[in-house]
Structure 1
């Protein structure tokens, strides 16, 4: 089910999420599917979207779903940054789909998490995937890309990626 995504300014987006407990896993499985449906809906409506964090749909749990080469369910993630190399980019977000924010992110990181089978996983993430997981991880701590803006001129409004969608 495609749930409503909370928009910039909603106070729930600024709250810190709680760890998922193993006994909650089965009850959360429908939420995983809802999150993947939200990614597909944003892609349909705005032409972007690879991942979503549970707080964006009002679920205060440390849970991220990524839909790239395959679907990933990321539970209770931790990040370790590799080196000091940073990159500057224009970040977008499902919670403010027509706004881009210029931010700095680490170029490389290691993601450690529990998957949907409650098995420990570890992945090295570089460049765009490193940026993506940092963005989603921030949501778990109540941090939005707007709060990481490089300066007060780092905001750009965008049009729909697909001109046939703009009205």
Structure 2
């Protein structure tokens, strides 16, 4: 397993439309393992293969909810001690995902993206959707998604079409987001 470099705007590869996966082999499994390791390291909750430079229709998602069954962890940041619930890993893999039947009702979530670091904006998307996808063995599944999972899978599936979440913003908001990103990079 390896942590791969995450492409960031304005890398032109992020605008590439990804190709369907036709071979379900060890290379695909390695890609997915690397994607999870990269996503957890970033840290993020979703990653599309194109974000690590591989134009294949593969997504990994882990919403990492707090684990109510785990013992709270004590952390010490800069002399401030606090406890928090550990996150539960619930890794999900979606190969060749397709949205069938998106809801007409919209939900607004503040989205961010590992390819557009430090930038967050409200995006409206269908509140629920049914997703047809394959697993790592090529087996087909169909699942109803709602809430954060529905938003996350739609966000990640946009990457497969070369679309970033900032492309959903008005021209002005998108320009402001990109300017802010430029300033953050200069400061770093």
- What is the TM-score when the length of structure 2 is the normalising length? 0.75
Match of 1:78 in 2: 98
Q: How many angstroms apart in 2 are the aligned matches of 1:87 and 1:151? A: 21
The one of the two structures with greater contact order (alpha-carbon pairs below 8 A, sep at least 6) is 1
Q: How many angstroms apart in 1 are the aligned matches of 2:107 and 2:54? A: 30
Q: Within 5 Å, which residues of 2 pair with 1:59-98? A: 59-68=54-63, 69-98=89-118
CA RMSD of aligned residues (A): 1.9
CA shift at 1:116, angstroms? 0.9
Match of 1:19 in 2: 20
CA shift at 1:103, angstroms? 1.5
Q: Equivalent of 1:152, from 158, 162, 172?
A: 172
Which sections of structure 1, spanning at least 5 residues, go unmatched? 44-48, 159-166
Which sections of structure 2, spanning at least 5 residues, go unmatched? 64-88, 182-187
Match of 2:76 in 1: none
Match of 1:135 in 2: 155
- How many residue pairs get aligned? The number is 153
What does the per-residue CA deviation read over 1:118-159, in whole Å, with 9 as the maximum and x for residues that have no partner?
A: 11111111021110000000000000011111462366669x
Q: CA contact under 8 A between 2:28 and 2:136: conserved in structure 1?
A: no
Q: How many angstroms apart in 2 are the aligned matches of 1:127 and 1:110? A: 12
CA shift at 1:71, angstroms? 1.4
